[in-house]
Structure 1
């Protein structure tokens, strides 16, 4: 058995590297039976020297495709870290880098030439090719004089990498001093998956001009010829001039292979493809998707695992293993990654299955959602809420009630035109048979207790209606703020659920690896597959809850019901200034000061309560009305009325006594009236008014007590939810550390799948508790603000200072001087 048959992902801790090394070394000594006595003797003689030497110098050189590849640079940094951690006690390792200059143009063989150049250097012991192009070129060096590790392979079969298989099934290069790593990811597999998602007719495959494998192009074209569903065109690029000439009209989909160009150059290509509205798929993985490629199939832990595997390959070579016989198998679990921002830009909308399966990048910015802060949301609610607008119209209607009551106290002026026709039998000397008369009348209430009381009452009732409107306005502010915070909470829970799903998928991957080396059976895999689907179900429910809450929020602010936003954290946008600056905490840091603060809050809440003022105005109106009903028994209603008329025309018989007289007439009258008896209705009105007044005064007292209790309860709730934030964070940290330990133990076969699931669930619940405690506290604080009727989100600095001046004054009256 070769050392390479051990799967490196099972050896994640530093202590396990030694187990791997020892097992591999003795296994290697056993593969050549005829050398067994000699190798055993060498091991006996020299292994102690290896242990104590520890200073053997080794030079490792990395050859990069080009400058500026941050992914390759990050991988190389991890390779250095892993290798040093694994071998520093045995070797003095020096690392160096060399790059194939992007500016250099020439024959395709320049990559091979560069590798041969490095092989000739005396100070180079091992070459690691840190790019797809140099790895491809390394496979064409037929007799390398020094060890080469080629870890970045596009498609081993398509590129013609050397491949041999042992009787046990291990695949190795068989070429002296050469090994590579392949996940057996194939271009055909990628293209098949890409086609299944988009159903394109013509595909453009983009490669680097310097790919040295003629077989790569030949086999790709053969694949195109065999494929009757879509055609394949190949475009080879190297620099920006090639990108400018690139004709995208020949394809309705694009497939990226590793290009080995500078990131700026690649970004120009990606932007051009997206601008053309063409969907793209990258073989390189997540980094390309983050740069704007639509999608890729990637292993999220690829760099860490790959760096570790490269380090183990270096260890195997230094321990005497022949590179030609190292396993090239580096299997990976692939997961689809989609850039939702790119999807929106090109008009691609993933189906529900894809959204559930894939990792979504820029999911919240996919459609360029507008930014929304809590303060902005509240402003929109006040401006656009239809219920509040309706309440405002009702308030204006109340103003007209006041005007109607006032009208009863103002003069009433009338204008009339009278036409009279009499038969001859009823004609008199004082009236013409036919006459037309025009007149104007005026009527004025001199005194009426009920009319004056009605006017005064309506004014008080209008004040009550105004307070009711202000109270409802605060309800809308509270409702909008509560929906905003709840939406943020659900969004945070969604992110945690996504992270938990990712962990579960990683554990499923680990279970498959455990099963492959005999640590566990298929039962673990089935259990993790069940957990993955359970996590997906929970995630779907959270997303559904988010959408429902979003609809409610949009209804409050009068926006399109499914409009989405980039929500800002309220502790960052100044929505809670009294809370975020921390000044308020010193007023509630001990039981005594907290009790005084509760008294202050009650006083402030009762003073600012619109409901209290509404009931107080109602009480005043009822008192006024009751007094008027009682006085109406004894105080008369006094009024005057006058009229002036002009005879415009007359004819017929009669009117003899009017001939020659003034045709203008007038009259003026004074009326004084009492309702002496109305069947007992006045007494009933008085009794009903007294009961109503008494009931309203009791309601006022009850509401004040209820408001006081509401404020105190809100503050007591905050006293519990605020410290819960720290407790939940500490709990989550402990649960995360426990999960890390249990995962490591599970990888080594020390614990069961049930223990790992329990540990993961505990960590998941603890992380959820962190989010819930944070937003529960903010929601409790919002409840407190609504209880006292003061929202500080629109406080100016002067308002804030004034509030603290009043608070300090209240504390001083209670004998507490807050000086800090």
Structure 2
């Protein structure tokens, strides 16, 4: 028993020791990394933090990666300080050294004996770098240098193809230029392209501004890594002011600040950080640095600022869109005129050619009124008469053989029912034509409103299509990264390339759709069709759309008890306000006046006055004599009563009565059609109000779902089909969300058209009176 008890204790001790050793073995080892930097700024600090996160994520549980502050060395471009800091890191407890920057890299290449492992980010493979070894790996113990596929030669070639400049100002630091011995390199590139160049060395952004000579027509930022975002924005604005196209070899987000373009992809830093992290993870797992590949392939995708391109008045080639990351809006630029809806309505009412032609119809009928009224104006005339009588063949001896006579006459209509009826009818017809012109005005307002909202929909569709294309571009780059890491197959890349081609086509079509929408607006406001314009965004309850009390309208339409009274009130408003009803009313008045005339009015007598003065100027020949007096007056009164005129009065009365019946039928039909249209628009408004709320929820959910799906795809948890479905769901949800608000406002303007009351064109007091009338109607309902 004692032996068994002792044996049990020994076994328990051995088991506990074994478990403890396993636990100790499972604890992650600490791995300390030193960093060699040339300059420290907010931008570089953010990048370093991203790099640290990527390294820790990739290494995972293989080791606890530390970045002690004491192992962070920044030399501020001081070569002697850089050598001193490098020696300190070699003697420190760092497990690995990461080096960044041209000067730091050249320092490492001076002595290829590495007591501690070093990974050097060499950047571009410039000829002056003189990388010591050939082959896939460095071949030097404890040393890995990473060289990207980026090339200043490719940058200059792309830049020249884009702008066809003649002399480029090449911006870079002097130490960068000298350490890489770039003179022959630039000479060879510019000679091949047939261009000239001038070096612009800088320490700060102001140096670049001061050294731009007048004959430079383009600027290439060959090495601007250490310029801050503020510096880049300052230079971008300066280049635009001087009409200088610009290109950068640095960050893709510099293009968002106004630089024209770059060959850098927005995902390149992700690729660089991923490659560095994978190299560290492989080293920790036992792979020697000298055997790892030095070549780092980066995406060469042109990133282009379209706003800068337009402001520089450079042509946009749609062929560029296929492989280009677009920044900014393809249509908008600083030189376009921006119109809101009120601007377009005002210009339409004044400049629209159709309205101008319609106004001439009113003017013509005004002339008809004047012509009818002129019947009561006096008729005055004068005449002369020369007579000859053959005295040998006639017996009127009292008449002279030759005579010269003259007279002046006056006719004045005093009363005529026919004339009165004609004047009254023409006045009513002119008033009816004026109401038709008012109809044309309302139609033009609705038409330009529809064009405005269609342009807004096309504009937001263009932005969404561009964002969707950019998202596909990022997903393509993600698929390429996963393919390189062995997490996905080549089919994913091919699928995203196919999606990319389709997205690019959709982007081109959306661009042309917006251009066509602007052409239609220019036609509506009688502007040259090629005039560059844009439309201001419309927001519910803000700006000119504050008059649309969205919450009140939504409350009324959502309340079944108020909805029916509201519709009936709108129908009554339409009957009161719409010029279409007034056209029929004026036409009915003209017809009724015609009926009265052809019934009893025809029996009223027509009264007129006549007067004349006759004068015998001279007479001679046979029968001539001295006549006294030579001049004399005549005057008279005419009274005429039409009794029977071939039954014309009866036929005209019957015709007018048929016309009256026809107009009354048209009015009833118009009322029915308008009520139907009001009810249809109200139902559409209810749909749009609910759509505004639901589409916002849907878009937020689709956006979050896409982010989760993208993270899962990155981790290999979902396939490409799920990622594309999530992206397409977001595209549909964004389009639905943007269209919901604009469709609501468009339906609101359609409702205004049906009731003849535009809230945008009426004063706040008039709109308040409209609401008061509805409240009074509802209280009495």
How does the TM-score come out when normalised to structure 2? 0.85
Kept in 2: contact 1:514–1:747 (CA 8 A): yes
2:344 pairs with one of 377, 380, 391: 377
Other-structure match for 2:564: 595
Partner SS for 1:210: helix
How big is the shift at 1:211? 1.4
The correspondence of residues 74-89 of structure 1 with structure 2, limited to 5 A, is 74-79=46-51
Tell me the residue number matched to 1:210.
175
The correspondence for 1:423, drawn from 389, 395, 400, is 389
Counterpart-to-counterpart distance in 2, 1:692 and 1:592: 42
Give the paired residue count: 755
- 2:757 corresponds to 1:811: no
* Distance in 2 between residues matched to 1:310 and 1:182, nearest whole Å: 12
| 1:721 matches 2:688 | yes
User: 668, 685, 689: which one pairs with 2:652?
Assistant: 685
151, 169, 173: which one aligns with 1:186: 151
Aligned equivalents of 1:542, 1:666: Cα separation in 2: 85
- How big is each residue's C-alpha offset from its partner over 1:302-350, in whole Å with a ceiling of 9 and x where there is no partner? 3455556666667777888876666655433232122233323444213
1:532 pairs with one of 500, 520, 524: 500
Query: For the structure 1 residues 740 and 698, does the alpha-carbon distance in structure 2 shift closer, same or farther, using more than 3 Å as the test?
Result: same
Q: SS of the residue aligned with 2:611?
A: strand
1:419 positional shift: 3.2
1:739 Cα shift?
3.5
SS in 1 for 2:442: helix
Residue 562 in structure 1 maps to residue 535 in structure 2? no
Q: 1:160, 1:213 within 8 Å by CA — same for their partners in 2?
A: no
| 2:3 alignment partner in structure 1 | none
Q: Give the structure 1 partner of residue 13 of structure 2.
A: none
Q: 1:138 to 1:452 in 2, by over 3 A?
A: farther
1:210-289 equivalences in 2 (<5 Å): 210-211=175-176, 214-217=179-182, 220-221=185-186, 223-224=188-189, 227=192, 229-230=194-195, 233-239=198-204, 240-241=206-207, 243-247=209-213, 249=215, 254=220, 256-258=222-224, 260-263=226-229, 265-266=231-232, 269-270=235-236, 273-274=239-240, 277-289=243-255
Report the Cα distance in structure 2 between the residues aligned to 1:238 and 1:778, rounded to whole angstroms: 54
2:668 maps to which residue?
701
Pairing 1:463–2:431 present: yes
RMSD across aligned positions (CA): 3.9
User: Any idea what SS the aligned residue of 1:793 has?
Assistant: coil
1:413 is matched with 379
User: Gaps spanning 5+ residues in structure 1: where?
Assistant: 1-43, 102-106, 815-820
Contact 1:467 1:613 (C-alpha < 8 Å) held by counterparts: yes
**Quick one: which of 398, 406, 411 aligns to 1:437?**
406
For residue 115 of structure 1, report the CA deviation from its aligned partner: 4.9
Aligned to 2:335: 368
Cα displacement (A) at 1:58? 6.1
Q: Secondary structure at the match of 2:680?
A: helix
State the alpha-carbon separation in 1 of the partners of residues 295 and 511 from structure 2.
39
TM-score, normalised relative to structure 1: 0.81
- Tell me how far 1:611 sits from its aligned partner: 0.4
The Cα of 1:278 is off from its aligned counterpart by 4.2
CA distance in structure 1 between the aligned counterparts of 2:451 and 2:238, rounded to whole angstroms = 41
Compared CA separation, residues 765 and 447, structure 1 to 2 (3 A): same
Correspondence list, 1:86-485, <5 A? 90=64, 109=79, 112=82, 115-116=85-86, 119=89, 151=121, 153-158=122-127, 160=129, 162=131, 169=136, 171=137, 174=140, 176=142, 181-200=146-165, 202-211=167-176, 214-217=179-182, 220-221=185-186, 223-224=188-189, 227=192, 229-230=194-195, 233-239=198-204, 240-241=206-207, 243-247=209-213, 249=215, 254=220, 256-258=222-224, 260-263=226-229, 265-266=231-232, 269-270=235-236, 273-274=239-240, 277-304=243-270, 306=272, 330-362=296-328, 363-366=330-333, 368-408=335-375, 410-423=376-389, 425=391, 429=398, 433-439=402-408, 441-485=409-453
Matched residue of 1:786: which SS? helix
CA distance in 1, matches of 2:618, 2:53: 119
